[in-house]
Structure 1
């Protein structure tokens, strides 16, 4: 039996190659990481232990501790209560996504995936034998989706629509009205909606009072929805490797739980308890307040850079999340973004992520910035980039036509 071909995971390979030796990593997608001491300082609860050293290090609760799952369920219960039994804890959102796809998608299925996005979301279904079509968000539409295009993609064997909201790499959101239309279509065709919400709730440039503000899919009036998330991006705790799967459907959660049995016994008890502390009511507001403030401050700095280089840069300013997708060109033609990023890190130590290598060949000239690093790293990295733009940019080759 021939094994399914697994395509190289381009963005992860790029990060693995450069991030540990970059001097100025402004490609990172997590909000600047914090320590346990920092977490305690951000919390209103200065007395409770984050981790009890007397805890016996067993496997712990297989699906995640009751405390953590209840805490997460409460975060999704603003519109309608969510039961803790409908939350599964995983080793990061990457494991959450893999578990959902492994448990629910297979040969003969058809999947529609929001694009551009994290490569896992469309490559894994292919590896599992499904057919995949891309539902493209386009720069000329400010990275918004078109509902009529979605209708044209649906087939008799379509099983799942995958969205990424907020979106990596653009920082765009799928607004409330589009989500409502998506629900109508999914209900009409009895489709599963899977939402990678790993950058939620880092909404730095849109108010919750806005009519466009996107709720979680779990707040929408449809049962066959799944949300995945983690502590890595918006919560600055990538090092504890805690993510989750949540759904209002017992059937979908149980299918994911069966798939999870083959990949994960349990997450670390230490990680589980740290996550529960971070997401508790005494801590989450201070943590998110810190991170939204950092994102807003750093985005102003990046906006100033783009304005100063309007002769070569263009973008759709991000609304949420930690990333921006900026297009670089010379004389009206896209630069070779891979050469640009390679030369930049070699000459200056500044790390960026090339769009055509990491998100698809159609994104020639695009570069992903991760602007939620420590402010001094962003300031110094952009200063080095300014110097490169003045001295080395004109020597860069243009992107090659197909």
Structure 2
């Protein structure tokens, strides 16, 4: 039997997010939308509805429909000298399946994997369960949670096979600048190390401009063949309910190997999910959808920043630049709170839900909680109002 650690953040979410009346400010997706909402965003009334009720529900295109893979390939080919082929994209049931499949395919006993930390637990617990040795490339608050290449160099060993990053990062909301991504590729290239970049929160950037010289591109755009990226319709695209993700690479060999492993699991994704994703990524919908979510993130992060500034004796943070999550520290009379007890008491007394960072991301994050701030603005406002009353009564 494979030994795998409990997936703490998912178990916490599962236990508390269905609490009656809960205000979920722990959710990591941009506020979800319905099919009707998606259709209303479309700028071309002549585009057919995403769901064709006359389509026979076969397995469909095993690796993903041509339309969906072409639209994704187009996104990853923008402003690069060598476009990405649709054949180099594999559609999966969410990015969580993409990550699992590629790790299951490529990692085993005797391998060494380096993973940025903190991050989504799957990215280091799954390779460890497969028998790999794990080293954590730790993000430091004093360096704005941006990974330092000099910290990475001594972690590389003779048996290192893969380096894993998450950009934008969950839970800190930091983004890895282009200069660091470029240095990472140059470090990996001589040893042919595989780089996995989990980009599920891309392209939701709200604190850095595309005009900035260090704006982070997708790692695929840097042209390194041994790159794998995973993405999803859940986070930046507000469509977690269709359970659709992907893995892409410039290496046809890597994609074929992962596709072969998938034959033993899901075979294909739902045709309905594929159709909705294809519609959402069409030129007539994509820009309106992303525009909605980027504006929502900017509006909501301003509200959260104002709350933290108004309660600076109790809470503090490093303001995120991308994604949907923030890591916020809480203190009571100058001492770090017990974040697990704090989150449980908060749910019980106010119905406001956060994720305790020490339980879900590591003991060194005691006193921190992860806040998912790109929910509906009204939900965030109400949650912060209740939180403000609570912290003034319980922590001041």
Normalising by structure 1, we get a TM-score of 0.96
- Corresponding position of 2:6: 8
- Corresponding position of 2:282: 280
Per-residue deviation, 1:46: 2.4
**Cα contact 2:223–2:250 (8 A) shared by 1:** no
- Corresponding position of 1:398: none
Out of 313, 317, 322, the position equivalent to 1:320 is 322
**Cα contact 2:121–2:361 (8 A) shared by 1:** yes
Query: How do residues 167-316 of structure 1 correspond to structure 2 at under 5 angstroms?
Result: 167-316=169-318
- Corresponding position of 2:139: 137
Per-residue deviation, 1:102: 0.6
Per-residue deviation, 1:330: 2.8
RMSD, matched Cα: 0.9
4+ long deviations beyond 2 Å: 330-333
364-373 or 326-335, which deviates more: 326-335
- Corresponding position of 2:384: 382
- Corresponding position of 1:101: 103
Per-residue deviation, 1:271: 0.4
Deviations 1:28-58 (A, max 9, x none): 0000000111101111122312111000000
1:352 matched to 2:350? The reply is no
Deviations 1:278-317 (A, max 9, x none): 0011110000000000000000000001001110211110
- Corresponding position of 2:33: 34
86-95 or 259-268, which deviates more: 259-268
2: CA distance, partners of 1:380 / 1:238: 23
- Corresponding position of 2:160: 158
Per-residue deviation, 1:215: 0.5
Normalising by structure 2, we get a TM-score of 0.98
Per-residue deviation, 1:331: 3.8
Deviations 1:343-383 (A, max 9, x none): 00000100000000110111000100000000000000100
- Corresponding position of 1:397: none
**Cα contact 2:197–2:228 (8 A) shared by 1:** yes
Matched residue SS, 2:97: helix
1: CA distance, partners of 2:242 / 2:259: 21
**Cα contact 2:168–2:174 (8 A) shared by 1:** yes
**Structure 2 unaligned blocks of 5 or more:** none
Per-residue deviation, 1:334: 1.2
2: CA distance, partners of 1:9 / 1:145: 24
Deviations 1:141-161 (A, max 9, x none): 110111111110000000000
The number of residue pairs the alignment matches comes to: 392
